[in-house]
Amino acid sequence: MSHVPISCSGRAMPISATRVGAWQCDLATERLLWSDGVYDLFDLPRGSPVDREMAVDLYDPDSRAEMERLRARAIRDRTGFSVDALIWSAVGVDRWIRITARVECDRGRPVRLCGSKQDVTLEHLLWGGARAVAEGRYC
């Protein structure tokens, strides 16, 4: 539910903008907790039930594969990762999000991932435009 405080290492994550949100994933159950900002990024009703399988289906296949590779490595190595991923929101909007994650452990065993998701669509559009100009594709 969106009213559940989300924390990493016992510290609340201050998230206020609608273009960024906090999230957690329980590794034993794959249960997700999202702040309102994450629901907004995916254009899903705030507080609605969401499971990991449904959420992952909203990722572009290439982005999904990269995210899953980094996620598995982070869990194995008890580290974290950051990746930009292309998603298709629930209403069909293409959006780039930056996912940051870290693994939390209990007695040396990974128990959850937590982090943030931020809309970086404008950044990708600007870099894409700059690249096109540099390559001479724009006048």
In a domain, 2, yes or no: no
Structure confidence by residue, pLDDT tens digits, 18-67: 489 999 999 999 999 999 999 999 999 999 999 999 999 999 999 999 99
Q: What is the CATH number of the domain that holds 119?
A: 3.30.450.20
Of 38, 25, 29, which is closest to residue 101 (Cα–Cα)?
25
In a domain, 1, yes or no: no
Q: Tell me, rounded to whole angstroms, the distance of Cα 43 from its chain centroid.
A: 13
Q: Which residue range(s) make up the domain with 129?
A: 7-134
Number of domains within the chain = 1
Taking the C-alpha atoms of residue 77 and residue 29, their distance in angstroms, rounded to an integer, is 20
Contact 101, 80 (CB under 8 A): yes
Lowest mean pLDDT of 41-50, 84-93, 124-133, name the range: 124-133
Reply yes or no on whether the pLDDT at 16 is more than 60: no
